[in-house]
A = this chain, B = another copy of it.
Amino acid sequence: MYHTSNPEPDTAIDRTVPEFPVAQLSDEDKYFNSYKPPSYLPRIEDEVRSFIEFHATTSGKPIALVTSGGTTVPLENNTVRFIDNFSAGTRGATSAENFLENGYAVIFLHREFSLLPYSRHYSHTTNCFLDYMTEANDKIEIKPNYAEKMLKVLRKYKDAKESRSLLLIPFTTVNQYLFTLKSVSELLHRVESKALFYLAAAVSDFFLPQSRTPQHKIQSQDGGGKLVVDLEQVPKFLSRLVENWAPSAMIISFKLETDDSILIKKAKTALQRYQHQLVIGNLLQTRKKEVVFVNSKGEEKWIRLTPEQVEENLEIESLIIPEVVQVHNQWINRK
């Protein structure tokens, strides 16, 4: 089956865009003072607060905030059009399942309608929902060849729900993402070092300042129209997260590249800039087969599926997460 929605690796990352300076406190203040939080944010805060409180006082589980999927940038005055970031959410959704299986509670901050833990096995495929169903004796049922695996997935999903271990929080725009991340981060300070940030979302680099109207400058040209979109960079909030919002938590960010010769260097630069604990580097072409952990001491550790594991469709997140858990345990114990 052909897929129409995958970008080509050789053109997927634009290297003409330079690195931006780290957001300073003033940038952060400026952003959150200039833009409005989403109107539903208090409801999310209530949900997150009671989720964290439950695990802090009752389950005792460590809490992973997993971000997943791409943020959008609405072209203002025209929210029918928006700039989007390519990401199905596979890394985030698969990782969330593995955190749950490793004893974590998971706040899954995800792009609405992107892949979700567990249901991901049955969505965004070429199969539609109804292709899993059949009719027998005037009743609808799951096709026998799917039933066994689906029951296993359902049990895990129900476990996660019944133990209150999985909280799904959606976003669409980069503004919603930033405000929600800030709120959740501040609330996660409650569990200090037992909080783990696993930032796998594809966050927009650029946004359209609300103040800039009219932002669509139409210029007559060859008798036709032309649209010029003028975007500002999104402040780089990772430092603020480390220093202010959740200073005791462990923070892991991702670095996706297409050129293996610069992957490690970019990961190390990110660690120096943001002073967080771990970057997981991966190449677009091989991201489902190998990743590299780069820590703040500059150590590198590759995690790779063996050819046999690739053959049997093992997911690399089942190797990544136990490694992450180990690093997080060290982080908790050194505090």
Binding site for B on A (CB under 8 A): 2-5, 7-8, 11-14, 16-18, 20-21, 38, 40, 43, 72, 74-86, 112-113, 116, 118-119, 122-124, 128-130, 133-135, 138-142, 147, 150-151, 153-155, 157-158, 170-173, 176, 202, 204-206, 214, 216, 218, 223-233
Q: Is the CB of B80 within 8 A of A202?
A: yes
Q: Is the CB of B227 within 8 A of A228?
A: no
Q: Is the CB of B227 within 8 A of A205?
A: yes
* CB of A122, distance to nearest CB on chain B (Å): 5
Q: Is the CB of A140 within 8 A of B135?
A: no
Q: A4-B171, A118-B130, A130-B154 are contacts. A228–B225 as well, Cβ < 8 Å?
A: no
Pairs across A and B, CB under 8 Å, 8 listed: A11-B76, A18-B218, A81-B86, A118-B128, A134-B154, A135-B151, A227-B231, A228-B229
Q: Is the CB of B233 within 8 A of A11?
A: no
What separation, in Å, do the CA atoms of A19 and B13 have in the docked complex? 34
Q: Is the CB of B172 within 8 A of A5?
A: yes
SS class, residues of chain A in contact with chain B:
mixed
Q: Which residues of B contact A135 (CB under 8 A)?
A: 151, 154-155, 158
Q: Which residues of B contact A151 (CB under 8 A)?
A: 135, 138-140
Q: Which residues of B contact A16 (CB under 8 A)?
A: 77, 214, 216, 218
Q: Which residues of B contact A223 (CB under 8 A)?
A: 21
* CB of A108, distance to nearest CB on chain B (Å): 11
**CB closest chain-B residue, reference A202:** B80
Q: Is the CB of B232 within 8 A of A224?
A: yes
